[in-house]
Structures are given as C-alpha cells and as structure tokens.
Structure 1
Amino acid sequence: MSVLTLRLAGPLQSWGSSARFARRTTETAPTKSGVIGLLAAAQGRDRTADLTDLAALSFAVRIDQAGTRLRDFQTARHAVTGKPMPVSERFYLADAVFVAAVAGDDGLIHSLHDAVRAPVYLPFLGRRSCPPQGPIDLGTRSGHDPVTALRDEMWQAAEWHQKRHRRNAFVTLPLLSESAGDGPLGAVLRDQPLSFAPTQRRYALRNVISTTLDVPNRHYQPSQRPNSTAKPVPVSRHNPEALLTPLPPQSPLDGH
C-alpha cells in the first residue's frame, strides 16, 4: 500500500456535500468526493467514467489552517430563456490550508502522483472558481495508511500563521478519517462518490471520525526568561517635546 498526500491551499475553497438549489454550503474540510473528483480530472477521466478504483481509496484530511468562512450572493440568467435565476447564496473558506491523503494499491497511487504533477485538467478546490495557491503534490509514501502519513507530514500552514504559534513546540491539528471495518462510528457524511455523470450524480454515506494530531512547529521559539541576577534595564519614558526644537526667547516688544 502507498499513500499520496496533497496540500490544498488557496484564496478560496468550497467543499459541499449537501449543497442544493440556491444555497451552496461548504464543509469545514475537503470532502472525499471533492478530492476524488480532483484526482479523476488530473487523470483526464470523463465525468461518466467508472470511479470504482478511486472510490475504494482510503481517505483522511488534516486541518492545518482552518481559514474563515465567507458568504457570497450571485445572480445569473437562464442560458436559453434569458430570464433571471433566483439569487444563490454561496459559502467559501478563505485562507484555509489542508493536507489530504489517499491510500491504495501502489500502481494506482503512483499513477495519481504522476497525474497531479502533470494534470490533464487543472485542479480546483471544490469549485472551478477556486484554483490552488500552488503545486498540490507533497509526494508518496510506501507502507503507510493515511493517518500515519498525515502524522509524519510537516505542518503546512502559511508561515505567518505558524509564527503566531511560535511559543508552542507542537500544535494540535484536527484530523478527519474514515471509520475502518468494525471501528467506532463517527459523523455520517454523504460524500462517497459513485458517479460524477452530469445527469446522474450519486453519492453514498460515509462514516467520518474526528480526532487530533500533534505536529511539530518548525518556527518554535522558546520564551527566554529574564536572568534574576541581571540588573534591571532602565525604562525611558516617551517625551514627545524632547524632539521639538526650542524657540528663541521673544522680546517683550515683539508684536507691537
């Protein structure tokens, strides 16, 4: 078994699992159907192609930077009649960073790795209007499951976000993984892809377990305690008048 890890970061992302009609919501992390769709597009598969091999991949995702939820309103007109369509409410995640991992047969994982490095169709983060910030490929690992691969993967949050936690040697990151076999049941999510056909999109239910991982912070800076024997440093008080040039003394007759 091999694992492919992906860094999913961009200005906007949107991963819907129950979006319907004029209200298009987003989950707090990438869905399995969204990531499988990204991989299928990278391979150049048609929307009506068989997804059995991709849907059978084990999947997990780590939330490295949760981002901020945004709401947008969009208008449109019918392509045939030209009549205005209902105003749609769409939700996005701004400045979020995730690390997703898929595990399966060595040959399939390596073919997916080649595909994301030279995709047939450009990848997007849930919607076509959400391009990734940069390359999404983080490489492959042999003999790992998705959770183990994410435990070993470096923290991928933006540098400014990591420096905000520089006093912590480790950071605790949320992890969403699949319930394996007779394991514990978690939240139920309808994001197990069965078909991406435009006329018959179908998804099955999937059990998702929420846990956490402790990951090292490479920007860790231990706080330096002051030396008790050192002499206190005098604190100078701010005096804005000290920067002003003194005026020469005026004669009592000035101004007369």
Structure 2
Amino acid sequence: MRTLTIKLAAPLQSYGNEATFSRRTSYHYPSKSAVLGMIAAALGYRRDDPRILQLNRLIIAVRIDQPGRILTDFQTIQYDQKHNKRSLSYKDYLQDAVFITAISGDDQQIMTIENALHHPKFQLFLGRRVNVPAGPLHTQVFENSDPVSVLKTYPWQAAKWYQRRVHQDYYSAELITDANLVKSHFTSFVKDNIGSFDENHRWHVYRSVASIRVKLLNKSYQNTEHDIMANI
C-alpha cells in the first residue's frame, strides 16, 4: 500500500459542512469530500461520473500544521433582477491555513492520482472554486505506510513566520483520520463521504473519524534563555 501526501495551502480555503443558503460555515480542516473532489477534478471526472464513488475507498488522514483564522464574507445577492429581490449571504473562509493530507490506496491508483494532481484536467481548488492553491501542489509518495504513520513523522510544514511564533521545541498538531487507523476513545461521525456531486442533488454519507495529537519538531525554535549568573 502506498501513501500520498498533499500539502494544501492558500490565502483562503473553505470546507463546507451542513449549511443553508444564507449561512455557509466551514470545517476547521479539509473534509474528505473536498479532497476527493479535488482529486476527481485532477483526474478529469465530471460531477456525474460513477468513478467518483470509488474514490470513497481511499483511506485518508489530515494534519493541521497551521490553523486558519476565520474570515466571514458578507454578500448581497440579487436573485430576481426584474422584481429587485435580494438575499443576504454569509460565507466563512480559513485564512493562511496549512494542511497535510495523506491518502492511501492501491499502488497504481496512488501513482495515477499523484500524476493527475500535477497535470490536472480541470481547475483545482480548495473547497470552493475561488480558493485556488498557492502555487503547484507539493506531493510525496511513501511505500508500505499508512496515512497516520506517515503524518506522525512528516516534517512540520507551517510557514516560517508561524513556526517562529511557537516558542517551543515541538509543536502539537491535531491529526484527524479514519477511526479504524488509530486507537482512540475520541471518535465522532462526520458527513463527508461522497454520495453525489450532482449540482441538482448533492448529498454526503457519514463516516467515523478520530482525532489525535502528534508532536512535530520545530526547527525554527531557538532557545535564547540563559542564566547570566551560571558561570559566576
């Protein structure tokens, strides 16, 4: 089994959960359906392509290397110009977030996905169409490893300015994964497996996830504390 890591970074990202038209919030990390949707776009799958459902079989984990700050965008939408009818909409985005996603599957499938992410058939975006990645995606393939094992040792990918703000040798990062990959009492259900991407009837299926913490070396930390009386 191969595991592919994908660094997700952009000025704005948004991973919608249950929402109404007027209020659209975001998970604090990339949902599985958002990651699989990006992969499907790279592979050239259209919204009604039956091969999209096969992507649900991929095993996935996400590590939050740099939590995003919430930005709420207020919009006035004119949906009936003839009668001058308008609606208010609030959309949440994550600013300056950095995530490392790890997915595992069949060896050939993983290699096909990695190639597609660097030669996408359709535009890639992080949650919403306006959220394009900050440059080419950074990916890496690991042999005979599962997503959790990889993300426990993969170097911390937060921006340098963020790393310098963490005045510790190690950074404690949250890792959200398919529940069967870890032994944890803190499991929950999230509705982010793909049911359909059809714009006329989009729906999702629940899956069980677990959240753990992993310690990552902070290479930007410099301990300047010293005792001036120590050598007296």
Is TM (by shorter chain) over 0.5?
yes
Larger radius of gyration, structure 1 or 2? 1
- Within 5 Å, which residues of 2 pair with 1:150-229? 150-165=151-166, 167-180=167-180, 186-228=187-229
Query: Percent identity at matched positions?
Result: 36
Kept in 2: contact 1:116–1:137 (CA 8 A): no
Q: Deviations over 1:1-59 (max 9, x none)?
A: 11111111111111012122211110110100000000000111110012232111011
Kept in 1: contact 2:190–2:209 (CA 8 A): yes
TM-score by length of 1: 0.83
Kept in 2: contact 1:177–1:210 (CA 8 A): yes
Counterpart-to-counterpart distance in 2, 1:119 and 1:57: 19
Segment of structure 1 superposing worse, 49-58 or 184-193: 184-193
Segment of structure 1 superposing worse, 64-73 or 79-88: 79-88
TM-score by length of 2: 0.92
Per the alignment, residue 95 of structure 2 pairs with 94
Counterpart-to-counterpart distance in 2, 1:192 and 1:210: 17
Counterpart-to-counterpart distance in 1, 2:170 and 2:220: 10
Counterpart-to-counterpart distance in 1, 2:83 and 2:128: 24
Per the alignment, residue 16 of structure 1 pairs with 16
Per the alignment, residue 122 of structure 1 pairs with 123
Q: Deviations over 1:162-201 (max 9, x none)?
A: 1112x42211101111111896561211111122111221
Per the alignment, residue 45 of structure 1 pairs with 45
Q: CA RMSD in A?
A: 2.1
Counterpart-to-counterpart distance in 2, 1:181 and 1:156: 22
Distance 1:105 1:128, change over 3 A: same
Distance 1:202 1:227, change over 3 A: same
- The offset of 1:202, in angstroms, is 2.1
- Classify the secondary structure of the residue corresponding to 1:36: helix
- Classify the secondary structure of the residue corresponding to 1:180: helix
Aligned residue identity for 1:199: N
Kept in 1: contact 2:79–2:87 (CA 8 A): no
Specify every segment of 5 or more residues in structure 1 that has no aligned partner in the other structure, as ranges. 232-256
Aligned length: 230
Counterpart-to-counterpart distance in 2, 1:101 and 1:181: 12
The structure with the greater share of residues assigned to strand is: 2
Distance 1:59 1:83, change over 3 A: farther
Counterpart-to-counterpart distance in 2, 1:106 and 1:83: 55
- Classify the secondary structure of the residue corresponding to 2:148: helix
Q: Give every structure 1 segment of 4 or more consecutive aligned residues whose post-TM-superposition deviation is greater than 3 Å.
A: 79-85, 181-185
Distance 1:83 1:148, change over 3 A: farther
Counterpart-to-counterpart distance in 2, 1:73 and 1:229: 57
- Within 5 Å, which residues of 2 pair with 1:29-40? 29-40=29-40
Specify every segment of 5 or more residues in structure 2 that has no aligned partner in the other structure, as ranges. none
- The offset of 1:83, in angstroms, is 4.3
Counterpart-to-counterpart distance in 1, 2:175 and 2:74: 31
